[in-house]
């Protein structure tokens, strides 16, 4: 399944299953705050957290984070059952 996100007239399409990433995050109680992530060999520092939401994929809870590095906006997702992170969308 492919997703497309339009933002400022430029869209980046990412395949849903091929974007596993490494994320440095702070877990405090039930709050998760991503601080940085590595995508395609490059480290991106999270400058701001814009929005968070949760959804379910069957029995799996997924927490989504809209974050910015100060230039672009990214949608990160944390699967609380598989304990993995994915990069779902990029807006440049």
Average pLDDT over residues 46-73: 96
**In this predicted model, what pLDDT tens digit does every residue of 16-41 receive, in sequence order?**
555 899 999 999 998 999 999 999 99
1-12 per-residue burial string, b: 16 or more CB within 10 A, e: under 16: eeeebeeeeeee
**In this predicted model, what pLDDT tens digit does every residue of 75-88 receive, in sequence order?**
999 999 999 999 99
Per the CB < 8 A criterion, the answer to whether 14 and 21 are in contact is no
- Can you give the residue ranges of every domain in the chain? 22-91
Distance CA 47, CA 70 (A): 6
- Two structure tokens written together for 27: 């877990």
Q: What is the pLDDT of residue 77?
A: 96
Which band of pLDDT confidence, cut at 50, 70 and 90, is reported for residue 6? very low
pTM of the predicted model over 0.75: yes
Distance CA 77, CA 22 (A): 11
């Amino acid at each position: 399944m492919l997703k497309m996100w339009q933002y400022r007239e430029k869209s980046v399409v990412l395949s849903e299953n091929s974007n596993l990433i490494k994320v440095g995050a702070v877990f405090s109680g039930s709050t998760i705050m991503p601080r940085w992530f590595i995508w395609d060999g490059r480290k991106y520092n999270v400058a701001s957290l814009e929005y968070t939401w949760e959804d379910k994929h069957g029995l799996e809870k997924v927490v989504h984070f809209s974050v910015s590095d100060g230039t672009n906006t990214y949608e990160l997702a944390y699967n609380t059952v598989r304990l993995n992170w994915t990069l779902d969308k990029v807006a440049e």
